[in-house]
Structure 1
Amino acid sequence: MELKLINELGQAAGSLVASDELFAREYNESLVHQVVTAYMANARSGDRAQKDRRTVKHSTKKPWRQKGTGRARSGMTSSPIWRGGGRAFPNSPEENFSQKVNRKMYRAGVASILSKLASEGRLSVVESMAMATPKTKDLANKLKSMGYASRVMIVTDDLDDNLWMSSRNLPNVLVVEARHIDPVSMVHFSNVLMTKNAVKMIEEMLG
């Protein structure tokens, strides 16, 4: 598989031969959906809690007598059918949202996303991506000159501090190391820009 190689002006500068197993495989939509869903579910924390009828604050006094009022019988105001009552099936702080995905499935899902990006021309490779000074305006102008007007994810082999600090105030730009790529970010961003060394690192990790 040959990936598009561009220079800092966004002009074509040849191609880079990459692994067909990672960048030229058939797109598996169901697998990608499963991997993305599991990744998002595993990031959830079970810190929400609701009160049941035992823990909600209420009076134990019977609201009205059992018979003769014409209304339905009721025992106490903590009933789930009452406003302000406890929940019938409350959420627990110990709730576990994690989903298991095998390592082979995860790697195949990430490779499927990379192949989709490459086949649609949304994955480009640059020799290096570094900034001389940590200036947001300079990075914005640089990406604009390279033809990236929408969301772009920059993947580097070694995170440059100036590059990272320059991207923090750009809401549509994400800078990550190759070892920290995730399926959710790659699906979210319209374009992915990788350095040559980052491509090699990804091939070593997922190959």
Structure 2
Amino acid sequence: MATCTIKDWQGEAAGETELDLAVASAESANHIVYLALRRQMANRRQANAHSKTRAEVRGGGRKPWRQKGTGRARAGSIRSPLWRKGGVIFGPRNERNYSLNMNRKERRLALRTALQSRSDDLIVVEDFSDKLAQPKTKEVVQALERWGVGRDQSALIIVAEKDENVYRAARNIARAKLITANNLNVFDLLNVDWIVATAPALDRIREVYSDSK
């Protein structure tokens, strides 16, 4: 269990909350997070490599020479895999599926474990959607600095629900990524220096990723 201070828009303490999620045991924590990360990376992998077989490569409709009497080996097509510019045998095909499966309970356990392991890097703030009357990136950058995120540090901003002004103000910050609590994933949790979550987002995480489901 970790106790986190809730900061307001100005960076001042406005309360406290606890992050107490059901996580994996110490012996299996690293492995369950690794499995979830491997699944996420594999499922976003695209099978772009594609080689043509002798049926797909252009040309080769006519028999190069007659079957007998030339002294050369028999040949039925200039696009045979044995020929230059011919088809490829057992080459990579874009039909390959790299996706991996993982039980929902295991996925939720990995998410809770990854988030709980970053409790020291978690910054909890009040909902600030009402602070942005207009989508100004400068105001979000200044707010991140007030919350303790350095200019050369990356941050994952987690909100309960998507707000258009917040989204448009944060999308141009190269070192920051904005997601909703429903889109929580292991890669984003582990790939940043700081995790900035609003208090309603933490409540949403407890509701969605609780151990009871």
Q: TM (normalized to structure 2)?
A: 0.79
Note if contact 2:32-2:110 (Cα within 8 Å) is conserved in structure 1. Answer: yes
After superposition, residues 52-131 of structure 1 pair within 5 angstroms as: 52-59=53-60, 61-62=63-64, 75=75, 76-80=77-81, 82-118=83-119, 121-130=120-129, 131=132
After superposition, residues 1-207 of structure 1 pair within 5 angstroms as: 1-7=1-7, 8-10=9-11, 15-22=16-23, 26=26, 28-46=29-47, 49-59=50-60, 61-62=63-64, 75=75, 76-80=77-81, 82-118=83-119, 121-130=120-129, 131-148=132-149, 149=151, 150-207=153-210
Note if contact 2:154-2:176 (Cα within 8 Å) is conserved in structure 1. Answer: yes
Structure 1 vs Structure 2 CA RMSD: 3.0
* Stretch moving more, 108-117 or 80-89: 80-89
Shift of 1:203: 0.9
Q: Aligned partners of 1:74, 1:175: CA distance in 2, in Å?
A: 64
| SS of the residue 1:95 aligns to | coil
Shift of 1:101: 0.2
* Stretch moving more, 2-11 or 33-42: 2-11
- Given the superposition, is the C-alpha separation of residues 74 and 163 from structure 1 closer, same or farther in structure 2, using an over 3 Å criterion? farther
> Where does structure 1 lack aligned partners over 5 or more consecutive residues?
none
| SS of the residue 2:178 aligns to | strand
Letter in 1 for 2:125: V
Q: Aligned partners of 2:25, 2:167: CA distance in 1, in Å?
A: 31
Q: TM (normalized to structure 1)?
A: 0.81
* Stretch moving more, 90-99 or 155-164: 90-99
Note if contact 2:6-2:199 (Cα within 8 Å) is conserved in structure 1. Answer: no
Q: Aligned partners of 1:198, 1:191: CA distance in 2, in Å?
A: 15
Identity between Structure 1 and Structure 2 (%):
26
- Given the superposition, is the C-alpha separation of residues 6 and 86 from structure 1 closer, same or farther in structure 2, using an over 3 Å criterion? same
Note if contact 2:21-2:112 (Cα within 8 Å) is conserved in structure 1. Answer: no
Letter in 1 for 2:146: S
Note if contact 2:156-2:189 (Cα within 8 Å) is conserved in structure 1. Answer: yes
Count of residues in Structure 1 that have an aligned counterpart in Structure 2: 201
